C-alpha cells in the first residue's frame, strides 16, 4: 500500500515550489553536449556547459574510452577495495598526482563525492572548519557530515578569515582546524585569494583544502588554481572534478601520500561505492595527456573568453568581476533574468538564468560558459542575440 504521508508531502511541497517559481523544468538534449546542442528539435548555441575544453566530444577521448571498454568491460565490477581496482584506475591516479604536483592522488566517482569523502575522513566533532560562505553545496554537505564546528567566513574576506582563525585557535576548543575554499567560485567566476589564505593557515596552523572544480584545466596551465599561485607544496588537499574541463566524470583528491593512504582506508564513498568505469578512467588519462602536451585548447578557451567578455562589455552589459571563463551577465531582477534567458533561447542561445536562492536576491544573472569548442562565428552570433534581446527588454539603451 503506497504511503499517503509521502503522497501528501510530495503534493504539497511540489505545488509550493511551483507556486514560488522555484521548480526547475529540466531540458533534454537530443545531441552531444557540444558548443551547439539540440533541444526539442531546435539547434542552440550552448553557453551553459562546463565542458570548458570541448573534451567531452573529442575523438581522442572517445577512442581511449572505447579501447579501455573493450579491454576491461563497461563496469569495474566491484568496490575498489574488494576487487574493483583496475590497472587503469591506478594509472589515472598516478597521472593526476603528476599533473597536480603532489605525491599521490585518489579518484572518486564525482567531485561531489570527494567532498563527502575527504572532509569527514579527517575532521570530526572535536574539530572546526572555516568555510567561505560561497563554497559549493558539496563542501557544505561534506562539512556537515563530518560533525565538525562550521565557522562561516565572509566571502573572500581575509580580515574575517584571520579574525576567525585566531579566535578558533586561541579558544583551545578544537583538536584540528581546517580552512576550506573553492578555487574558483562558480557563480561569479572570481578566484580564491589563495596566497593570503595559505599565509593565514600557516600562521594559525590550519589545514588547507581547495576544491578546484572550476580551476582545473583552466588556470595554472591546466593544473589549476593552486599551481597558478605556485602553492602546490603548501596546500594539503587539492580537490578536482573530472566532469568539467576534463570532460568525463569523477573527481579526485591530490595531496601527500599518507593522506591518500588514509583516504583509501577511511573514506566511505571509496570503501562502499563502485568506482568510475574503466572507459571513463581511460578517457581522463587521455585528457591529462592532451593538457600536459599542448596548450592549444587552453589558448583557444582563453581567446574565446576574451572575445565574449569584450563583446558583452562593449554592448553595455554588467558582467561582474569574473577572472575566469565563467561569465555572468548580471540583470538583477529575478523575473527579468528568467525572461531574458527565455528570450535568448527563443533566439537560438542557450544560457541559463541563475537567481535567488542560488545567488543573493536582486543579483539574478544569466551565466555564460564559453569553451574551446566554440567558433568565433558562434560567439559573434550569440553576441548579436544578446544585443537584440537586451534592447528589447530595456536592459540596454
Ligand atoms: C566547487 C565544486 N565542487 C564540486 C562540484 C561537483 O562536481 P561533480 O559534478 O564532479 O560532482 C562542483 C560542480 O559544480 C563544484 O563547482
Residues annotated as part of the active site = 186, 214, 244
Q: Is any ligand 1 atom within 6 A of the Cβ of residue 93?
A: no
Q: How far is CA 349 from the centre of its chain?
A: 22
**Domains of the chain from N-terminus onward:** 17-46+295-393 (3.90.1150.10), 57-293 (3.40.640.10)
Q: State how far the Cα of 59 lies from the Cα of 372, in Å rounded to an integer.
A: 15
* CA dist 201 → 147, 162, 164, 179, 227 (Å): 21, 9, 11, 7, 17
Q: Is any ligand 1 atom within 6 A of the Cβ of residue 112?
A: yes
Q: State how far the Cα of 126 lies from the Cα of 174, in Å rounded to an integer.
A: 5
Q: What is the CA radius of gyration of the chain?
A: 22
Q: State how far the Cα of 334 lies from the Cα of 361, in Å rounded to an integer.
A: 8
Task: Look up the pTM and report it.
Answer: 0.96
Q: Is any ligand 1 atom within 6 A of the Cβ of residue 353?
A: no
Is 200 in contact with 162 (CB distance < 8 Å)?
Answer: yes
Q: State how far the Cα of 241 lies from the Cα of 247, in Å rounded to an integer.
A: 9
Q: State how far the Cα of 388 lies from the Cα of 368, in Å rounded to an integer.
A: 17
Q: Is any ligand 1 atom within 6 A of the Cβ of residue 127?
A: no
Which residue is closest in CA terms to ligand 1's atom 7?
A: 111
Q: State how far the Cα of 11 lies from the Cα of 26, in Å rounded to an integer.
A: 19
Instruction: Pull the grid cell for residue 70.
Output: 573493450
What separation in Å is there between the alpha carbon of 330 and the centre of ligand 1?
Answer: 22
Which residue is closest in CA terms to ligand 1's atom 12?
A: 213
Is 277 in contact with 69 (CB distance < 8 Å)?
Answer: yes
Ligand 1: which of 107, 136, 219 to mutate, judged by most atoms within 8 Å of the beta carbon?
136
Q: Is any ligand 1 atom within 6 A of the Cβ of residue 251?
A: yes
Q: State how far the Cα of 52 lies from the Cα of 15, in Å rounded to an integer.
A: 36
Per-residue pLDDT of the chain (397 residues; tens, 9 = 90+): 889 999 999 999 999 989 887 788 899 999 999 999 999 999 999 999 999 999 999 999 999 999 999 999 999 999 999 999 999 999 999 999 999 999 999 999 999 999 999 999 999 999 999 999 999 999 999 999 999 999 999 999 999 999 999 999 999 999 999 999 999 999 999 999 999 999 999 999 999 999 999 999 999 888 999 999 999 999 999 999 999 999 999 999 999 999 999 999 999 999 999 999 999 999 999 999 999 999 999 999 999 999 999 999 999 999 999 999 999 999 999 999 999 999 999 999 999 999 988 888 899 999 999 999 999 999 999 999 999 999 999 999 7
Amino acid at each position: 500500500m503506497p504511503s499517503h504521508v509521502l503522497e501528501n508531502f510530495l503534493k504539497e511541497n511540489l505545488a509550493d515550489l511551483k507556486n514560488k517559481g522555484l521548480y526547475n523544468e529540466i531540458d533534454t538534449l537530443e545531441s552531444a553536449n557540444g558548443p551547439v546542442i539540440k533541444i526539442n528539435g531546435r539547434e542552440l548555441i550552448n553557453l551553459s556547459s562546463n565542458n570548458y575544453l570541448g573534451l567531452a566530444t573529442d575523438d581522442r577521448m572517445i577512442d581511449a574510452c572505447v579501447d579501455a571498454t573493450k579491454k576491461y568491460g563497461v563496469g569495474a565490477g566491484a568496490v575498489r577495495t574488494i576487487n574493483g581496482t583496475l590497472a587503469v584506475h591506478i594509472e589515472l591516479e598516478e597521472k593526476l598526482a603528476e599533473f597536480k604536483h603532489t605525491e599521490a592522488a585518489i579518484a572518486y566517482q564525482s567531485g561531489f563525492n570527494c567532498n563527502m569523502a575527504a572532509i569527514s575522513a579527517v575532521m570530526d566533532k572535536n574539530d572546526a572548519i572555516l568555510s567561505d560562505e560561497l563554497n559549493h553545496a558539496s563542501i557544505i554537505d561534506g562539512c556537515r557530515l563530518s560533525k565538525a564546528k562550521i565557522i562561516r567566513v565572509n566571502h573572500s574576506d581575509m580580515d574575517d578569515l584571520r579574525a576567525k582563525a585566531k579566535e578558533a585557535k586561541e579558544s583551545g576548543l578544537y583538536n584540528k582546524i581546517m580552512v576550506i575554499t573553492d578555487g574558483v567560485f562558480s557563480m561569479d567566476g572570481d578566484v580564491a585569494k589563495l596566497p593570503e589564505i595559505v599565509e593565514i593557515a600557516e600562521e594559525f596552523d590550519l589545514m588547507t583544502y581547495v576544491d578546484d572544480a572550476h580551476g582545473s584545466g583552466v588556470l595554472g596551465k591546466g593544473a589549476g588554481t593552486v599551481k597558478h599561485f605556485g602553492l602546490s607544496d603548501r596546500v594539503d588537499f587539492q580537490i578536482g572534478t573530472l566532469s568539467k574541463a576534463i570532460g568525463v566524470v569523477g573527481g579526485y583528491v591530490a595531496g601527500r601520500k599518507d593522506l591518500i593512504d588514509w583516504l583509501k582506508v577511511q573514506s566511505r564513498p571509496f570503501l562502499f561505492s563502485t568506482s568510475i568505469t574503466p572507459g571513463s578512467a581511460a578517457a581522463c588519462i587521455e585528457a591529462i595527456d592532451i593538457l600536459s602536451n599542448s596548450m592549444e585548447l587552453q589558448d583557444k578557451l582563453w581567446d574565446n573568453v576574451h572575445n565574449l567578455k569584450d563583446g558583452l562589455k562593449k554592448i553595455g552589459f554588467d558582467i561582474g568581476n569574473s577572472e575566469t571563463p565563467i561569465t555572468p551577465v548580471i540583470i538583477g531582477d529575478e523575473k527579468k533574468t528568467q525572461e531574458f534567458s527565455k528570450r535568448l533561447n527563443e533566439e537560438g542561445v542557450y544560457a541559463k538564468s541563475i537567481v535567488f536562492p542560488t545567488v543573493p536576491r536582486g543579483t539574478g544573472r544569466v551565466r555564460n560558459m564559453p569553451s574551446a569548442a566554440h567558433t568565433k562565428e558562434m560567439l559573434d552570433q550569440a553576441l548579436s542575440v544578446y544585443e537584440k534581446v537586451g534592447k528589447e527588454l530595456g536592459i540596454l539603451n
